[in-house]
Amino acid sequence: MLNDVQQKALQDLIGKCSREELLWINGYLNGLVQGTAPATAAVTDAQAPRVNKITIVYGTETGNSKKLATDFALKAKQHKIHAKVLGMDQYRLTDLTKEEYLLAVISTHGEGEPPAAARKFYDHIHLNGFRLDNLKYSVLALGDTSYPLYCKTGEDVDQQLQKLGGNRIVPLQKCDVDYDADAASWFSQVLQQLTEPVPAVVAAAPAVKPAAPAKKGKQVYQGTVLAHINLNDQGSNKETYHIELQADGIEYQCGDSIGIVPENDSQLVTDIIARVNADGNKSVLYKNEKVTVYELLKRKVNIVHLTEKQVQQYATLTGHTVPVKRADLLSLLQQYPVKNATQFEELLVGLNALAPRLYTIASAPAAHLGEVHILVVKDQFEADGKMKTGLCSDYLSQYKAGKQLSFFLQPNRRFRLPSEEKDIIMVGPGTGIAAFRSFLAERDATGASGRNWLFFGEQRFTTDFLYQTELQQWFETGVLNKISLAFSRDQQEKIYVQHRMREEAATLFQWLQQGAYFFVCGKKDPMSHEVEHALLEIIQEQGKMTAESAKQYLEQLEAQGRYEKDVY
């Protein structure tokens, strides 16, 4: 089947690999062929697996880890292994010491932090002194290489389970956003361990990470800003910017986002340099790159709202007693001065890299050729008695038409328009409208026949009706079949999208029963939770169900890809 050259190449590769690397390759190849051919780790019907019961726990923020954990459980079942799947928030922590086989699928969020629902599990294993000597485990870590602390939570969980005495059966597998092949490879290795006649325990993670197939890396696009418009009118409490970028050659789908790495405020950088009397033009080495102190502070490192861990590092390095709470670099330097320029440079190179921020694409490939549009609300909040702004949204709010902006594409494979004849219900208050402007523009340009119903909300009709003209035109031309608006501050009592959903309960349930897809985009907290709560009530009441059956109905929608969220 292989020619001589191919055979030699394969033998050369195999000859250089350690056992772990061979295991990885085996798993990787299994993963590749899964779906078209049975995994080599498969147990034939006649064989009994060596292990017949496992627990899979997942820690997720946006659903990827849950989806993978559920898929793994199904695959395990095909191999006659009973897999209990639980979110880390539902998992009884006291059961951990009783587990024999535990698989953990966990993503990293925030700045290298666990998903909120996994926090208790994470803290439990880190804080509580107990032993897990009987535990056999493996961790699949989901992450994104564009973040400075790639798969940090998965790494922590893997190491901590080992510290507590757990035996790692398969090395930690880190996965980037295109996680399918790596995840399938990891699970194949796990299956092999569970089904092999002789147990093979991997005592420690391999010293050298097995060479993963070369990743393409994130392609960075240079977009020219074509338009930069504040969509809020005078008198609004908000500033929401519609930004159009020209970016030839970009291929995206509705539902995707773009990632942007912000720059720090120039005045703040100058103030920091002045505060410590540093030479801004001096070169330093940061992550193997030579940059000037000014460039480092302006474009590379995070200098505002440092994490607690970074504040702790600051304290250790400077020898000061500093309260462990998030703080800005400048205020730390003012209150707890560094000794000299050398100490300042040491401090700088230990700072976290600036993290990208994601923005849901508001344009559509069929409608806005070669362009990407986003909608960014300036994040304004009070801290330490002062009004402050979020770093990236403030940076983008000051952008000017004609300037270049670097960005990368962040696909969202779950949040997709269904086939053109399907009905969709879209709930997108505030910047959540971005995804649905994209959906509607695509459906308009392609003449899709499915019905479209939008719930939109903001503070006031006169100042905050984002994309009003376009939405009205789509309504007039029949692209938008129904629009339900909730302007919270136009009357005494607050009215939000979830209230409009309840008012339309009968029709909404009818649409769902007829096969409609339900999408939510925008603020996770509290919006998406309130919307879900209302949806459950509507299903229960209109479907004359118990609360439990309504929950199952919604889970069914989710499993069918008919209840999707892009929330943040």
Ligand X SMILES: Cc1cc2nc3c(=O)[nH]c(=O)nc-3n(C[C@H](O)[C@H](O)[C@H](O)COP(=O)(O)O)c2cc1C
Ligand Y SMILES: Cc1cc2nc3c(=O)[nH]c(=O)nc-3n(C[C@H](O)[C@H](O)[C@H](O)COP(=O)(O)OP(=O)(O)OC[C@H]3O[C@@H](n4cnc5c(N)ncnc54)[C@H](O)[C@@H]3O)c2cc1C
Please report whether residue 144 would count as binding ligand X according to CB under 6 A: yes
Distance, CA of 302 to CA of 380 (rounded, Å): 19
372 sits in which H/E element:
strand 371-377
For ligand X, give the closer residue by CB, 108 or 192: 108
Please report whether residue 151 would count as binding ligand X according to CB under 6 A: yes
Whether 48 and 213 have beta carbons less than 8 Å apart is answered as no
Sole binder of ligand Y in the list 67, 152, 168, 357 (CB under 6 A): 357
CB crowding 193-230: b at 16 or more within 10 Å, else e? bbbeeeeeebeebeeeebeeeeeeebeebebebeebee
Whether 132 and 161 have beta carbons less than 8 Å apart is answered as yes
Residues 167-226 that bind ligand X (CB under 6 A): 177
Sole binder of ligand Y in the list 351, 392, 497, 512 (CB under 6 A): 392
Please report whether residue 383 would count as binding ligand Y according to CB under 6 A: yes
Among 295, 395, 403, smallest CA distance to 353 is for 295
Q: Report in angstroms how near the CB of residue 257 gets to ligand X at its nearest.
A: 8
Please report whether residue 60 would count as binding ligand X according to CB under 6 A: yes
| Stretch of residues binding ligand Y (CB under 6 A), selected from 117-125, 335-343, 379-387, 528-536 | 379-387
Residues linked to residue 229 through DSSP beta bridges, in sequence order: 242
Q: Which residue is nearest to ligand Y (CB)?
A: 390
For ligand X, give the closer residue by CB, 34 or 108: 108
Distance, CA of 564 to CA of 562 (rounded, Å): 6
Q: Taking CB within 5 to 8 Å according to partner kind, which of ligand Y, ligand X, none is near residue 379? A: ligand Y
Q: Taking CB within 5 to 8 Å according to partner kind, which of ligand Y, ligand X, none is near residue 150? A: ligand X
Instruction: List, in order, residues 6 or more apart from 422 with CB less than 8 Å away.
Output: 450, 515, 516, 517
Q: Report in angstroms how near the CB of residue 405 gets to ligand Y at its nearest.
A: 14
Sole binder of ligand Y in the list 304, 322, 341, 545 (CB under 6 A): 304
Please report whether residue 352 would count as binding ligand X according to CB under 6 A: no
Q: Report in angstroms how near the CB of residue 82 gets to ligand Y at its nearest.
A: 35
For ligand X, give the closer residue by CB, 152 or 168: 152
Sole binder of ligand Y in the list 293, 376, 479, 534 (CB under 6 A): 376
Sole binder of ligand X in the list 34, 55, 65, 540 (CB under 6 A): 65
Sole binder of ligand X in the list 49, 50, 53, 63 (CB under 6 A): 63
Please report whether residue 388 would count as binding ligand Y according to CB under 6 A: yes
For ligand Y, give the closer residue by CB, 51 or 392: 392
Please report whether residue 64 would count as binding ligand X according to CB under 6 A: yes
Among 276, 397, 264, 271, smallest CA distance to 345 is for 276
Sole binder of ligand Y in the list 30, 257, 302, 452 (CB under 6 A): 257
Q: At what angle do helices 308-318 and 341-349 cross, to 10 degrees?
A: 150
Q: At what angle do helices 64-78 and 180-195 cross, to 10 degrees?
A: 40
Please report whether residue 381 would count as binding ligand Y according to CB under 6 A: yes
Please report whether residue 359 would count as binding ligand Y according to CB under 6 A: yes
Q: Report in angstroms how near the CB of residue 182 gets to ligand X at its nearest.
A: 11
Backbone angles phi, psi at 85, to 5 degrees: -110, 130
| Stretch of residues binding ligand X (CB under 6 A), selected from 144-152, 285-293, 438-446, 542-550 | 144-152
Distance, CA of 77 to CA of 20 (rounded, Å): 26
Residues 423-442 that bind ligand Y (CB under 6 A): 431, 434
**CA dist 510 → 423, 516, 538, 539 (Å):** 11, 9, 11, 10
Please report whether residue 519 would count as binding ligand Y according to CB under 6 A: no
Please report whether residue 329 would count as binding ligand Y according to CB under 6 A: no
Q: At what angle do helices 468-476 and 433-446 cross, to 10 degrees?
A: 40
Q: Which residue has the tokens 């959903």?
A: 501
**Residue-by-residue DSSP string for 204-245:** S--SS---PPPP--PPEEEEEEEEEEE-SPTT-S--EEEEEE
388 sits in which H/E element:
strand 386-389
Site string for ligand Y, 538-557 (x = CB under 6 A): --------------------
Distance, CA of 416 to CA of 106 (rounded, Å): 23
Q: Taking CB within 5 to 8 Å according to partner kind, which of ligand X, ligand Y, none is near residue 149? A: ligand X
Residues 102-121 that bind ligand X (CB under 6 A): 107-112, 115
Site string for ligand X, 158-177 (x = CB under 6 A): -------------------x
Q: Taking CB within 5 to 8 Å according to partner kind, which of ligand Y, ligand X, none is near residue 328? A: ligand Y
Please report whether residue 379 would count as binding ligand Y according to CB under 6 A: yes
Report the number of secondary-structure helices (H) and strands (E) in the chain: 19, 21
Indicate the DSSP class of residue 431.
Answer: G
Token pair, residue 419, equals 């086939």
Please report whether residue 564 would count as binding ligand X according to CB under 6 A: no
Among 506, 376, 508, smallest CA distance to 454 is for 508
Task: List interacting residues with ligand X (CB under 6 A).
Answer: 60-65, 107-112, 115, 142-144, 147, 149-152, 177, 358
Task: List interacting residues with ligand Y (CB under 6 A).
Answer: 257, 262, 304-305, 328, 357-360, 375-377, 379, 381, 383, 388, 390-393, 431, 434, 566, 568
